[in-house]
Amino acid sequence: MPPVAVPNEAPKKSLRIAIIGQSTFAAEVFKLLIKDGHQVVGVFTVLDKGNREDPLATIASQNGIPVFKYKSWRIKGKVIPEVLEEYKSVQADLNVLPFCTQFIPMEVILYPQYQSICYHPSILPRHRGASSVNWTLIEGDTTCGLSIFWADDGLDTGPILLQKSFPCTIDDTVDTIYNKYLYPEGIKALSESVNMVANGTAPKINQTEEGATYDPALFKAETHQIDWSKGGLALHNFIRGLDSSPGATTFIKPQTEDSENIEIKFFGSALWEGEYEAEGDVIIIPGLNKPAVIHDGGLLITANDGVKLNIQRLKVNGKMINAQNFYKANENKVSLELTDEEKQFVENARNIWKAILRIDIDNDTDFFDSGAGSMDVVRLVEEIKDLVNVELQNEDIYMNTTFEEFYTIAILKARGDSSNQEIKYEGVEMEVNKMKIKFATQLFIDGQFVDSDSGKTLTLINPSDESVICKVQSASKNDVDKAVNAAKKAFEEGEWSKISARERGQILFKLADLMEQHKEELATIESIDSGAVYTLALKTHVGMSIETWRYFAGWCDKIQGSTIPINHARPNRNLTLTKKEPIGVCALITPWNYPLMMLSWKMAACLAAGNTVVMKPAAVCPLTALKFAELCVRAGVPRGVVNILPGSGTVSGQALADHPLVRKLGFTGSTEIGQTIMKSCAASNMKKVSLELGGKSPLVIFEDCDMEKAVRNGMASVFFNKGENCIAAGRLFVEESIHDEFVRRVVVETKKMSIGDPLNRGTAHGPQNHKAHMDKLIKFCERGVKEGAKLVYGGNRVDRPGYFFEPTIFTNVTDDMWIAKEESFGPIMIISKFNSKNMDEVIRRANDTEYGLASGVFTKDVSRALQFAEKIDAGTVFINTYNKTDVAAPFGGFKQSGFGKDLGQDALNEYLKTKTVTIEY
């Protein structure tokens, strides 16, 4: 019999309606009937469950409608007289049965003028009975639907009033067809049907017996048992047919001696389309010829006819788990750090639970142990959606049954992540800088901290006292391959590829907030690991990192293409548009001078553009990168999106440059290593590259400068961050008429600099990053003296434990000297004279280098300053200031200082590709 449907029309008259049933579905029908102008004169529903009232009773009470709650309408097959009289008292014109689990006597069904209409979730006469939705899937129907029929004696055989049908795919479950079709369309269909009755247009079409089925209810345990002798498609249909509740069941014997069979329920079946064999632990399932395999994506089952299906979730001993975790022990959870807004959400969610369960809600209150049923799951999902517009799935409730688990998954969903946030790591806890700090010492791959395949480690030294901080795992080539593949999977299949750009931005904002909350800890770790002065680390290393994440979080939903007018293909017309798309898997290799800030400068733009990343921090100071990885988990960054691999440049760095699945590599470091990386990137797969390399930045100080400001900024241009600064002024050109005074003042101020423990709030100059670098600075100074430069101050290691090097000043430096050409990357000021009468000559000297990262000029003459800015060959020009970088200003060099930009809008282009689309119409 074909489905029957007519256009919905407004009712011409108002009917007195009695609603008989229960659930959120019935409550929504109640609201729609009231909205249509009908009068609900009575609601008849089930008894309260403990303190819990049915949602239909609640909405009726709120609207002042009489509510009647019955355990049963009949005794020994006979209607209860008092119940019947109570029902008759409301004088309904029509009974509406939206969702009714009780047997309603015919005396009630036939009593109203227009009798009774009932909702049924199938296309009658197929799948009569209480488990019709389940059987629709178990039988593999390609069409699902609903019927509104004139109620009969409970056999679902009454005449049809209205029917609707919908497509049913091989991947649908009870929840998906209910949420997509049966719930929203069923509510509307009942409203339409009531209006048709009111308008006198409601048909009564007798059901045919052709194709009729009456399927047994799936309430008893024996009806849930899987028959493994069936083919793969039938197994898939059976499992998805029981997916919501109660679950398809089997028993297995675990791989331990003397253990009893355990019951396992299967959920989330999908036909396996992979051409490869999954690898992992095996499970022997009685009845199957081939063992099932636990792998990264679930539990792979091979039916006896060779068809494979993959199971995503298992319920074991009453607890729902991801199938891939079947053999895994319980792991430590990283608790979420909540914003004030999220804390308010938790309390609002607690009130929703309390309204549903009618009990006080603690964090360990279990939803189902407290009496909730499947309809309560629907209500919870809908109320959370109304509260915070978060689209939870029913399975999210089934897998997170305690209140704490529930609000955690809801918050993660709001942040854009639905992945399992369990994480475990081996780390170090220390009491330092009057606080407790904690950080991991393992590689971070695919959302987990893991040991290196090679077993090799890096020994980290505190540069302030030369003590060993800890050992950190060192990534092998195989570890790089794992991380890249995890990033590729996250980019192509994971949550990161599914969420909107705005949701991506929300996650990055959360990450920035967490970095803000942990800024003292991050600055302390940066200090003991890299020698950064703590106060500078707070402001710059960490402070600017936080600003960078917030800046690029704001860019996420503003990345857009354009429309371009092109010639038309007459007589047709054309439209051309461009799309900005993420590149894919990106590799980042960062230096040791600003460990966290260099990570942030590159990774924030990379993630904002929608890419995934594998990052190798400097081998000598990777700890803030590992702490950052932990914060990524807490912020809800999906697994595989960020991977952190401490390791050597020759092994893990080279493996990233060579990897064929990496499509972009961003590097900050020396020019020599940059050249090697560029060759490898070209030879491997022509991957896109951006390089921020060495510098020998000139700073030109004219005689008309503000001397006090020039001295202060000139010192900062060299000594900032112990000289370990890529844009440090590698050579100062001071006009000869003020040269001696400038040098005198600089020496006086340099002698005042306090050298010492970087954690001391009064320290201005901390230790160099590592011993090899300090030794290089000593040799740099020795060569300068040997070449004839005048060592005015410093040039030696400080006589104390740690890698402390004196701030150093050289004068009388000529252009041909080695120290005038090469970068020291340390606190060594190189001063040369010039005559301002020949400005072109000093610019020529300033440009006489293969580097072009930054430059600076101090003068009160605006015309002179702008001429300098125009003619100097450097990516950044500072005028009457120095080191003034900002997250919104592009940063990058010319010539052998590299190419590509960090920071600002330009940085996004480093991690995007432009696609041109032309449409003819």
pLDDT in tens, 566-585: 999 889 999 999 999 999 99
Contacts (Cβ under 8 Å, ≥6 apart) of 92: 16, 17, 18, 41, 42, 111, 112
- Angle of the 519-530 helix axis to the 595-608 helix axis, nearest 10: 130
pLDDT in tens, 651-692: 999 999 999 999 999 999 999 999 999 999 999 999 999 999
Q: Using 50, 70 and 90 to split pLDDT, how confident is the model at 618?
A: very high
Count of beta carbons in the 10 Å neighbourhood of residue 500: 11
Mean pLDDT of 502-508: 92
Q: What is the DSSP string of 639-656?
A: TTSEEE----IIIIIHHH
For residue 7, the model assigns a pLDDT of: 52
Instruction: Please tell me the least confidently modeled range out of 104-108, 220-224, 618-622, 788-792.
Output: 220-224
In this predicted structure, the answer to whether residue 257 has a pLDDT above a threshold of 70 is no
Cα 353 from Cα 205, distance rounded (Å): 43
Q: Which residue has the tokens 């914060």?
A: 631
pLDDT band (50, 70, 90) for residue 275: low
Task: State the Cα–Cα distance between residues 303 and 281, nearest whole angstrom.
Answer: 18
> What was the pLDDT predicted at 357?
85
Residue 602 has pLDDT above 70, yes or no: yes
Q: Higher confidence at residue 136 or residue 331?
A: 136
Give the DSSP H/E element, type plus range, for residue 17. strand 16-20
Min mean pLDDT across 120-129, 140-149, 252-261, 394-403 is at 252-261
The 8-class DSSP code of residue 422 comes to B
Task: For the beta carbon of residue 919, count every other beta carbon within 10 angstroms.
Answer: 9
pLDDT-derived band at 277, boundaries 50, 70, 90: low
Q: Is the alpha carbon torsion for 887, 889, 895, 900 positive or negative?
A: positive
In whole angstroms, what is the distance from residue 769 CA to residue 598 CA? 15
The string of DSSP codes covering 469-502 is EEEEE---HHHHHHHHHHHHHHHHTSHHHHS-HH
What is the residue whose two structure tokens read 């920071």? 903
Confidence of residue 329 (pLDDT cuts 50, 70, 90): very low
What's 173's DSSP letter?
Answer: -
Give the Å distances, CA to CA, from 229 to 232, 254, 303, 313: 9, 21, 8, 22
Nearest to 645 by CA among 509, 803, 662: 662
Q: Is the pLDDT of residue 318 over 80?
A: no
As beta bridge partners, residue 225 has 249
At 277, phi and psi to the nearest 5?
A: -85, 125
- Report the chain's terminal Cα–Cα distance, integer Å: 42
Least confident piece of the model among 156-165, 390-399, 695-704: 390-399
> Would you please indicate which residues are annotated as catalytic (active-site) residues?
120, 692, 726
Token pair for residue 4?
Answer: 């029957």
Does residue 485 register a pLDDT over 50?
Answer: yes
- Computed on alpha carbons and rounded to an integer, the radius of gyration of the chain in Å comes to 36
CA–CA gap between residue 480 and residue 647 (Å, rounded): 10
Cα 360 from Cα 75, distance rounded (Å)? 36
Picking from 415-424, 468-477, 857-866, which range would have the lowest pLDDT averaged per residue?
415-424
Q: What pLDDT band is residue 892 in, cutting at 50, 70 and 90? A: very high
> Cα(519)–Cα(375) distance, rounded to whole angstroms?
45
Distances (CA, A) of 811 to 314, 743, 781, 849: 74, 8, 12, 19
In this prediction, residue 397 carries a pLDDT of 83
Q: What is the arithmetic mean of pLDDT over 770-780? A: 96
Q: Which two tokens stand for residue 129?
A: 């009975």
Cα 146 versus chain centre, distance: 38
Q: How far is CA 531 from the centre of its chain?
A: 32
Q: How far is CA 345 from CA 15, 388, 501, 548, in A?
A: 41, 8, 23, 28
Q: Which of 387, 423, 353, 379 is nearest to 56 (CA)?
A: 379
Q: What is residue 383's predicted lDDT score, i.e. its pLDDT?
A: 85
pLDDT at residue number 886: 96
Rounded to the nearest integer, the mean pLDDT of the chain is 92
Per-residue pLDDT at 3 exceeds 60: no
Q: Which residue has the higher pLDDT, 372 or 620?
A: 620
The alpha carbon of 106 is separated from its chain's Cα centroid by a whole number of angstroms, namely: 56
pLDDT at 6: 46
**Euclidean distance between CA atoms 812 and 731, whole angstroms:** 12
Q: What is the DSSP letter of 908?
A: H
* Among the listed residues 87, 170, 68, 158, the one whose alpha carbon sits nearest the alpha carbon of residue 120: 158
Alpha carbons 899 and 690: distance in angstroms, whole number = 6
DSSP-assigned letters across all residues of 598-609 = HHHHHHHHHHHT
What's the whole-number mean pLDDT along residues 316-336?
68
Res. 316 pLDDT band, cuts 50 70 90 = confident
How many other C-beta atoms lie within 10 A of the C-beta of residue 213?
Answer: 14
Locus of tokens 């195989």? 478
User: Are residues 508 and 549 in contact, defined by beta-carbon separation less than 8 angstroms?
Assistant: yes
Q: Rounded to whole angstroms, how far apart are CA atoms 885 and 892?
A: 11
CB 611 within 8 A of CB 582: yes
CA separation for the pair 97, 56 (Å, rounded): 12
Q: How far apart are CA 820 and CA 784, in angstroms?
A: 9
Model confidence at 233, pLDDT cuts 50, 70, 90, reads very high
Confidence of residue 8 (pLDDT cuts 50, 70, 90): low
DSSP state for residue 467 in the 8-state scheme: -
pLDDT at 458 exceeding the cut of 60:
yes
Contact between 585 and 488 (Cβ < 8 Å): yes
The residue whose two tokens read 């059976």 is 238
The lowest-confidence range among 40-49, 375-384, 587-596, 718-727 is 375-384
Sign of CA dihedral 721, 674, 901, 597: negative
**What is the distance between the alpha carbons of residues 327 and 307, in angstroms, rounded to a whole number?**
24
Overall average pLDDT of the 372-399 stretch: 79
- Residue type, position 722, single letter: K
Tokens 């041109």 locate to: 916
Taking the C-alpha atoms of residue 629 and residue 635, their distance in angstroms, rounded to an integer, is: 10
* Token pair recorded at residue 293: 């395999």
Q: Give the pLDDT of residue 326.
A: 81
Q: Which residue has the higher pLDDT, 336 or 710?
A: 710
DSSP secondary-structure letter at 723? G
CB 419 within 8 A of CB 495: yes
Of 337-341, 584-588, 597-601, 748-752, minimum mean pLDDT range = 337-341
Give me 101's structure tokens.
């689990």
pLDDT of 2 strictly over 70: no
Tell me the three state secondary structure of residue 452.
coil
The pLDDT tens digits for 904-917 are 999 999 999 999 99
Give 562: exposed, middle or buried? Use CB within 10 Å, 0-12, 13-18, 19+.
exposed
Report d(CA 407, CA 92) in Å as an integer: 43
97, containing H or E segment: strand 94-97
pLDDT band at 331 (very low <50, low <70, confident <90, very high): very low
403-415 helix and 374-388 helix, angle to the nearest 10 degrees: 40
CB-based contact 914:559 (threshold 8 Å): no
Is the Cα torsion angle 840, 846, 848, 852 positive or negative in sign?
negative
Of residues 182, 162, 221, 233, the one with CA closest to residue 6: 162
Residue 597 CA, chain-centre distance (Å), reads 21
Copy the structure tokens of residue 1: 């019999």
> What pLDDT does 338 receive?
80
Q: What residue type is 766 in one-letter code?
A: G
Q: How far apart are CA 101 and CA 130, in angstroms?
A: 9
180: its two tokens: 């997509």
